[in-house]
């Protein structure tokens, strides 16, 4: 499988658990890795057959800035779920970094790996429980 990636996507948003964080915007940096077969797009030179970086970046930014979020773990899960459901990818890796969150560190963050198969299983389980 092939990899399409975006490194250090900058998103300014309201993020944090402390009261003072809920009234300011802070910068998050995201690294996104999407697994998908890119041979057809490469052979035809057709952007409609690939994962469009600009569209991905716009949708991720819109998702993260739509409402305040407390945890970067929540950001990572929401981004991974959206990528797997809205784009032709079988696996995603999402890294969310929050520079300046810990004074002694350059950045802190989370890194998750999710697959389309796991998303399908999760939604089937949710439907069965309903």
Tell me, what's the pLDDT at 121?
67
Q: Give 120's contacts (C-beta < 8 A, 6+ positions apart).
A: none
pTM score of the predicted model: 0.90
Tell me, what's the pLDDT at 118?
72
Q: Are 79 and 32 in contact (CB under 8 A)?
A: yes
State pLDDT tens for residues 12-63: 999 999 999 999 999 999 999 999 999 999 999 999 999 999 999 999 999 9
The residue from 7, 22, 91, 98 that is catalytic is: 98
Domain ranges of the chain: 2-129
pLDDT of 123 above 80: no
With vertex at residue 84, the alpha carbon angle to CA 36 and CA 66, rounded to the nearest 5 degrees, is: 130
CATH topology of domain 2-129: GTP Cyclohydrolase I, domain 2 (3.30.1130)
The residue to which tokens 């945890």 are assigned: 71
Q: Is the dihedral of CA 119, 3, 66, 55 positive or negative?
A: negative
Q: Does the annotation mark 91 as catalytic? A: no
State pLDDT tens for residues 100-117: 899 999 999 999 999 998
């Amino acid at each position: 499988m092939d990899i399409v990636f975006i490194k250090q996507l900058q998103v300014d948003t309201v993020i944090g658990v402390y009261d003072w964080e809920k009234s300011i915007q802070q910068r998050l940096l995201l690294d996104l890795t999407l697994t998908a077969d890119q041979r057809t797009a490469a052979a035809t030179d057709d952007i409609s057959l690939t994962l469009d970086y600009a569209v991905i970046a716009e949708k991720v930014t819109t998702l993260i800035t739509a409402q305040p979020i407390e945890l970067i773990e929540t950001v990572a899960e929401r981004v991974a779920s959206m990528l797997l459901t809205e784009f032709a990818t079988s696996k995603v890796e999402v890294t969310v970094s929050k520079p300046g969150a810990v004074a002694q560190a350059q950045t802190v963050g989370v890194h998750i790996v999710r697959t389309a198969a796991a998303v399908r299983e999760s939604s089937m389980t949710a439907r069965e429980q309903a």
